[in-house]
Homo-oligomer: A and B are copies of this chain.
Amino acid sequence: MQENLPKFDSVFTIDCVIFGFDEGELKILLIERNEEPFKGWWALPGYYVEQEESIDHGAGRILYELTGLRDIYMEQLYTFGDVDRHPQGRVITVAYFAMIRLNGQKELKPVNTYARKAFWHPVNELPKLAYDHTKIFERSLEKIRRKISYQPIAFELLPEKFTLTQLQHLYELILNTKLDKRNFRKKMLNYGILKELDEKQRGVSYRAATLYKFDKRKYARLFQKELSFNK
């Protein structure tokens, strides 16, 4: 019979992997740490969960405090609980991830001084990150790679109107591989979730391509169908 919780010296944290797509590059949001351990290192935005908040709430609060970003829909990625992942003791971290559209934004303003600064960094030239954050980042990249092959998540990263070339380029960046143009277009158009617009790219020196929009209603239906297995 057990009347009280056992006492362990263990602490929870949240780490956020926020992907952004901008200027033809896939980026993630990093902070420069202002606290020991790893003071001065680059890291994923992350901090302790408070005793009196749910982990979902903590994820939103921590992202806001460290980067100034608000109201980002984050999904839980994975929980990392190796014994030696933190130099000061037992810390289990719940990683969350999100994908957002960037608009030329480079740096963000942390609200709290745990972070000296917050900035977008291209994923293909990441520095060594604090703790096991490189491993967390790699796992999140695997997750979006897997997800992109059965859910059109890439649309969350693109501007509202985009060309098929931009869409393919984003897939190539995420999958880190060259794709066949004809197959890619065929597959994408077959999903039936792209709306062709009566509008072309502007301000380009080459032949302007047709712009597309993502049809959210059809996407929702497609996903429903997928789940019901009746297609």
A residues in contact (CB < 8 Å) with B: 1-6, 8-12, 35-36, 39, 48-56, 58, 76, 78-79, 81-83, 86, 88-92, 94, 145-146, 148-150, 171, 175, 177, 179-180, 183-184, 187, 226-231
Interface centre among A82, A92, A228 (most CB of B within 10 A): A92
In the assembly, what is the distance between CA of A3 and CA of B52, in Å?
23
**A54-B83, A83-B52 known; A5+B89 contact, CB < 8 A:** yes
Residues of chain B lying within 8 A (CB to CB) of residue A4: 88
**A10-B12, A12-B92, A52-B83 known; A229+B150 contact, CB < 8 A:** no
Is A10 touching B9 in the complex (CB atoms < 8 A)?
A: no
Residues of chain B lying within 8 A (CB to CB) of residue A94: 79, 81, 92
In the assembly, what is the distance between CA of A8 and CA of B9, in Å?
8
In the assembly, what is the distance between CA of A228 and CA of B78, in Å?
23
In the assembly, what is the distance between CA of A227 and CA of B171, in Å?
11
